[in-house]
Structure 1
Amino acid sequence: MDDRAPALPPWVDLVLTVVMALAAVGTAWAGFQSAKWSGLQAISFADAGAARTESAKASTDAGQDRLKDLVAFTSWTGALQEEIIAGTSPRPAGDYTPNPAELSGFLYERFRPEFRPAFDAWIATQPLVNPDAPATPFEMPEYELEADALAADLVAQAEAATADAHEDNQRSDDYVFMAVILALALFFAGVATRMKTARSQWLLSGAAVVVFIGAAVVILALPKTF
Structure 2
Amino acid sequence: MEPSGEIAQPPRKKAGLFERASIKFRAEWVEILSAAILALATIATAWCAYQSARWSGLMTISFAKSNTARTQSTKTQTAGGQLIQVDVGIFMEYVNAVVDEQQELADFIKERWFSEELNAATDAWLALDPIDNPDSPTSPFVMPEYKSRGLELSQSYDTLADSYRKDALNDNQRSDNYVLLAVFFASVLFFAGMCTKFKQRWLQITLLTFAIIILCVGAGILLTFPVH
Per the normalisation by structure 1, the TM-score is 0.85
Question: What is the DSSP-based 3-state SS (H/G/I as helix, E as strand, rest coil) of the residue aligned with 1:114?
Answer: helix
Assess if the C-alpha contact under 8 Å between 2:192 and 2:211 holds in 1.
Answer: yes
State how far apart, in whole Å, the 2-side matches of 1:113 and 1:223 are: 49
Return the offset for 1:129. 2.4
State how far apart, in whole Å, the 2-side matches of 1:221 and 1:79 are: 71
Question: What is the DSSP-based 3-state SS (H/G/I as helix, E as strand, rest coil) of the residue aligned with 1:142?
Answer: coil
Q: Output the amino acid matched with 1:158.
A: A
Matched, 1:128 2:131: yes
State how far apart, in whole Å, the 2-side matches of 1:27 and 1:14 are: 20
Question: What is the DSSP-based 3-state SS (H/G/I as helix, E as strand, rest coil) of the residue aligned with 1:53?
Answer: helix
Q: Deviations over 1:78-125 (max 9, x none)?
A: 111112xxxx54xxxxxxxxxxxx221121012011211101100111
Q: Deviations over 1:44-97 (max 9, x none)?
A: 1101101110111111122111111111111100111112xxxx54xxxxxxxx
Question: What is the DSSP-based 3-state SS (H/G/I as helix, E as strand, rest coil) of the residue aligned with 1:195?
Answer: coil
Q: More helix per residue: 1 or 2?
A: 2
Question: What is the DSSP-based 3-state SS (H/G/I as helix, E as strand, rest coil) of the residue aligned with 1:115?
Answer: helix
Larger radius of gyration: 2
Q: Which residue of structure 2 aligns with residue 82 of structure 1?
A: 100
Q: Output the amino acid matched with 1:131.
A: P
Matched, 1:168 2:171: yes
Q: Which residue of structure 1 aligns with residue 42 of structure 2?
A: 24
Q: Output the amino acid matched with 1:124.
A: A
Matched, 1:62 2:80: yes
Unaligned runs of 5+ in 1: 1-5, 90-101
Specify whether residues 107 and 8 from structure 1 end up closer, same or farther in structure 2 by C-alpha distance, changes over 3 A only: farther
Return the offset for 1:135. 1.3
Q: Output the amino acid matched with 1:19.
A: I
Specify whether residues 8 and 169 from structure 1 end up closer, same or farther in structure 2 by C-alpha distance, changes over 3 A only: farther
State how far apart, in whole Å, the 2-side matches of 1:8 and 1:113 are: 90
Q: Output the amino acid matched with 2:221.
A: V
Q: Aligned runs of 1:181-196 on 2, under 5 Å?
A: 181-196=184-199
- Matched length: 204
Query: Identity of paired residues, percent?
Result: 40
- What is the root-mean-square deviation in Å for CA atoms of aligned residues? 1.6
Return the offset for 1:9. 5.2
Pick from 124, 140, 147 the counterpart of residue 150 of structure 2.
147
Q: Deviations over 1:136-159 (max 9, x none)?
A: 101211111122211111111111
